[in-house]
Amino acid sequence: MRIVQVNASKKYNVIIEAKGISRLGEYMSGLSIKGKVALISDSNVMPLYGEEVSDVLTYHGYEVFPYTVDAGEESKSLTEYGKILSFLAKEGFSRTDTVLALGGGVVGDLAGFAAASYMRGVHYINLPTSLLAAIDSSVGGKTAVDLPQGKNLVGAFYQPELVLCDTDVFHTLPYEEIKNGLGEGVKYAILEGGRIFDILSSGLTSENLEEFIYLSVDAKRRVVEEDERERGKRKFLNLGHTVAHAVETSTAFSVPHGIAVAYGIKVMAGLAVERGELSAAEGEEILSLLRTSDLDVELDPIEELLPYFTADKKRSGDSITLVTIEGIGNCKLTEVKCRDLAGYFGVV
């Protein structure tokens, strides 16, 4: 077991351990959380783990109300968000009750936003079942839904009271889901360098999985504690994301988030080498890392993605903040005027 304590506007633990689900009720009782639990999951995950989670909670005296959304980014909508709020009201949930997200990033974002806004905030627990959610989206309090115009445009900052990563769940993930998680993992490897970069360069295994999750979560913890609401340092966590969100929007979310992030990192690394900001040697190290993780992908060219950049939530007025790469473990925030984006990316 490893524990990362996050000291943000709400103090909470991220617990990383095998067979963690079996101790969920114990951990919640330890937080003095009682009453009803809305178990929000999707059509892929609920059949796998919903009954186990429900049984554990019921054993510890909780009344469980399961709610299943369709798997996929399409469920991260205002319509589904409204349905969850209506479900909570119909079942008589109060401010002292709990929303528990069981699933990947989509479920966490959707359930977290519902928890943040129902009765202006109820208890919120996150039990991530994807590698991507475990190392990134389950920690830090970002919750959101999408609009047709772009991803994560409606949401709130709302920290959970517990994040429980059961590593046994990740050992059974399909290969494509591991790849998807590694897209965000590569982001931390480049931002941090050091041990995370070494782990992914040598290849993620069952032996180093727990350490990798711990190091990634701890990296995010340090950023969130310094800049919870993304006014400064937390913007570094958007490395590769401007390109990634453009890919997702332009393809109607048919490209998984982690794959899109990996492509965004590849684009930014290549651009940095072309602009003389990143050495060719380190550029090749990053490309090698992507190859090792099976993430050296080719997606839409930048000229086709540029129209989507200005819809990115990271735009401020007539400028957008890009995370640029000057070295492994050395990135910076670069503000570019929207009118200059084509020239910046070398699109004539």
Digit-coded pLDDT (tens) for 155-200: 999 999 999 999 999 988 999 999 999 999 999 999 999 999 999 9
Confidence tier at 315 by pLDDT (50, 70, 90): confident
pLDDT value at position 275? Answer: 96
Q: At residue 238, does pLDDT exceed 90?
A: yes
Residue 7 to residue 84: CA distance in whole angstroms: 29
Determine the average pLDDT of the residues in 135-142: 96
pLDDT value at position 328? Answer: 97
2-171 is a CATH 3.40.50.1970 domain:
yes
pLDDT value at position 150? Answer: 84
CA distances from 85 to 54, 65, 117, 144, 306 (A): 20, 13, 9, 14, 36
pLDDT value at position 310? Answer: 82
Q: At residue 314, does pLDDT exceed 80?
A: no
Locate 44 and state its tokens: 């892929």
Digit-coded pLDDT (tens) for 270-296: 999 999 999 999 999 999 999 999 999
Digit-coded pLDDT (tens) for 317-344: 889 999 999 999 999 999 999 999 999 9
pLDDT value at position 317? Answer: 82
Instruction: For the domain covering 175-344, report its CATH number.
Output: 1.20.1090.10
Residue 5 to residue 213: CA distance in whole angstroms: 14
**CA within 13 Å, CB half, 207:** 3
Give me the residue spans of the domains in the chain: 2-171, 175-344
pLDDT value at position 311? Answer: 78
